[in-house]
Structure 1
């Protein structure tokens, strides 16, 4: 059975209410189109994992879809706050959410542990930090070889991981160029992996083999969505839409304006809209 399918089908067949789900991409390749499809399908009670929650998680939280967020840094990149996330935390609007905060290093190690099938990640970290005082998931263990005290946290094991990439080949291998964050680890840690791509090509002939971040057997479904990372950028295809991030700061600051924007730009939109949004970037 082909892994290639429309995004609507890929989301519907691989995500369900109450799932633990990761949307990963660092600086670029953030899977906004996939997140918008999840919003359109109206999933509930999701546990959202992301190293750097930004606009897409602000939108999902604002739509009342999240019950818990596991993260390191949360913010509108280069602009400021995640106002919908803050409203949920401070005022319980549109619902209360549980937050579990970690460091970047902890998040990366937790994905790597999940990818390795381990129950926890062990690493050097949190020395002199206050996070262990407010996050009971942060424990310490003693190295049996050196006696050194190390940090330990639960492994990330998402039910579904969504990522965006430049290319897939017809066999279903996935290629990423430019900055690679934790996409590979987040995918290998998950039970199911959905990838949106800018294009599908016959093969990767002439490209460096190390760009093939995920072989086909690690991927559940692939959907072609041109512009699928907008307003973040996709290296080699389109630039970051800085104006969209500035606009979001204003939109997200007002509950009614947020609802109107989401209705017009997400609920009534289609994946094809993303291709139009990146023209001229």
Structure 2
């Protein structure tokens, strides 16, 4: 059942060293503030799970929080490489990083299988793909009805799923609008779920078909963190901060520049700083 907590308390209570954690978001509603809190608390030996890990996973890896990443595509969207990710893989700085790479389709199916309580995901995929050669968790099975060769991979069941959303009501239900990838499935597949939101309201109004509501019984902690997805965007609240993604390329190339940026913007800044980074905080119009 959902409980309203500060972000610091939620991360401290539910995210432990060595956990499999998903900070899930797909260009939209990426939970940057929550991941920063994990960095501030010095979480270690995490297995990071996510479709399209970008800047925030670069930061978690560069700060030594991660031992492994399960992912599909990694990069700074619209810019290029993730330099801290690459440094960890190529030079083991600040520590070595194990990789389990999948396709987008595989990750989406694996989350769905986890949410459904199934041990694996079965789908059409990986035919002729090199990932089967380097990833031992990609298997082939034969359909008992058609004889077709299908791909199978383990279901994804994070210890903790962390997402960002627009609203929670006082009951603890969470409303998500706009582009989604696997946030809903990640929450339903996880053992524990933390949701940061732009605001807490009495109840939801003007509901329409293009939204998702996660009921309070699927969530463990709700944290009100205005601006908590910055520099990604939150539909109806603020736009994507493209300048921040562009700037990250130069910052993350150099280890000392990276460490200085993290000290100023993460280690010495709390979640309240996110509200100051978006203008306007709430525009009232879809982004």
- Name the TM-score class by shorter chain: over 0.9
- After superposition, where does 1:81-96 map in structure 2 within 5 Å? 81-96=81-96
Q: Distance in 2 between matches of 1:159 and 1:251?
A: 31
Instruction: Please name the residue that 2:256 is paired with.
Output: 256
- Per mean C-alpha deviation after superposition, the further-off stretch among 63-72 and 202-211 is 202-211
Give the TM-score normalised by structure 2. 0.96
Residue 134 of structure 2 corresponds to: 134
Where 1:81 maps in the other structure, the secondary structure is: coil
CA distance in 2 between counterparts of 1:94 and 1:162 reads: 24
Question: 2:244 matched to 1:244?
Answer: yes
- The Cα of 1:204 is off from its aligned counterpart by 1.1
The CA deviation at 1:213 is: 2.8
2:145 is equivalent to residue 145 of structure 1: yes
Larger deviation, residues 2-11 vs 186-195: 2-11
- How far, CA to CA, are the matches of 1:168 and 1:208 in structure 2? 16
The 2-side partners of 1:2 and 1:111 are apart by 21
CA distance in 2, matches of 1:206, 1:227: 22
Distance in 1, Cα, partners of 2:91 & 2:4: 42
User: If the length of structure 1 is used for normalisation, what is the TM-score?
Assistant: 0.98
Give the whole-Å Cα distance in 2 for the aligned partners of 1:172 and 1:211: 16
1:1-281 superposed matches below 5 A: 3-208=3-208, 211-280=211-280
Can you list the C-alpha shifts for 1:9-39, whole angstroms capped at 9, x where unaligned? Answer: 0111101000000011111100000000000
SS at match of 1:156: coil
Superposition CA RMSD, Å: 1.2
Q: CA offsets, 1:206-265, max 9 Å, x none?
A: 313762431110000000000000000000000000000011000000000000000000
Deviations 1:42-77 (A, max 9, x none): 010000000011000000000011000000010001
| Aligned-partner Cα distance in 1 for 2:113–2:17 | 25
- Aligned with 1:252: secondary structure? helix
Shift of 1:180: 1.4
For residues 99-157 of structure 1, the C-alpha deviation after alignment (integer angstroms, 9 at most, x for no partner) is 01000000000000000111110000011211101111000011111111100001101
Q: Is this contact kept in 2: 1:111–1:186, CA < 8 A?
A: yes
- Counterparts of 2:86 and 2:212 in 1: how far apart (Å)? 38
Cα distance in structure 2, aligned partners of 1:212 and 1:145: 35
> 8 Å contact 1:173–1:215 — kept in the other structure?
yes
- Offset at residue 2 of structure 1 (A): 6.2
CA distance, structure 1, for counterparts of residue 268 and residue 134 of structure 2: 40
Aligned length: 281
Q: Which runs of 5+ in 1 are unaligned?
A: none
1:173–1:212 CA contact under 8 A, matched in 2: no
